[in-house]
A = this chain, B = another copy of it.
Amino acid sequence: MNGLKQKYMLTSEIAREIVNRAEEKAKELGVRVCIAVVDDGGNLLEFRRMTGAPILSIEIAQNKAYTSIAFGIPTGYWYDMIKDEPALLHGIVHTSRLVIFAGGLPIKLNGEIIGGIGVSGATAQQDEEIAKYAISIIENQR
């Protein structure tokens, strides 16, 4: 149909598979995290708090997932992007639900954002490693 585009969308089944893989990797690393997967609209699809993961991470994981789809880049890219722009460094960080540290990744297929993942509870680097491993299932399907 003219003027309408088609897009891929995450299903609940894939969101769950992504969360399961994230947990698998977290266990391998010996850490306890919260994991959130959102769709391309930033709306929550699947969430898990591993037993003993920080309550503080419930919100952070969801915000990382949201930030990932809301700007289309890994949350870990943000700091480098704003660090030499003082107005952004002090200003944009107040944006609702924006997270500027690693652990959130957009989930892309053929270059289009189809969702996002956010992981929180370990170090930012481990969080990102977990997120990366979890969504590699999608990349492999390309």
Q: Is there an interface contact between B87 and A76, defined as CB atoms closer than 8 Å?
A: yes
User: Closest CB-CB distance, A142 to chain B, in whole Å?
Assistant: 8
Q: How far is the CA of A92 from the CA of B123 in the complex (A)?
A: 12
Q: Is there an interface contact between A2 and B141, defined as CB atoms closer than 8 Å?
A: yes
Q: Is there an interface contact between A12 and B70, defined as CB atoms closer than 8 Å?
A: no
Chain B residue nearest to A73 (CB atoms) is B54
A24 at interface, CB cutoff 8 A: no
Residues on B with beta carbons closer than 8 Å to the beta carbon of A48: 12, 15-16, 45-47
Determine how many copies of this chain the complex contains: 4
Residues on B with beta carbons closer than 8 Å to the beta carbon of A16: 48
Q: From A7, A39, A71, name the one whose CB has the most chain B CB atoms within 10 angstroms.
A: A7
Given contacts A72-B54, A92-B101, contact A83 B85 (CB under 8 A): no
A117-132 vs B, Cβ < 8 Å mask (1 yes, 0 no):
0000000100000000
Q: Is there an interface contact between B90 and A100, defined as CB atoms closer than 8 Å?
A: yes
Q: How far is the CA of A126 from the CA of B98 in the complex (A)?
A: 21
Determine which of B10, B49, B76, B96 lies in contact with A4 in the assembled complex, contact meaning CB atoms within 8 Å: B10
Could you jot down 13 A-B contacts, CB within 8 Å?
A: A1-B8, A4-B109, A5-B8, A5-B51, A6-B6, A12-B51, A39-B41, A45-B49, A55-B69, A56-B98, A78-B91, A79-B87, A87-B100
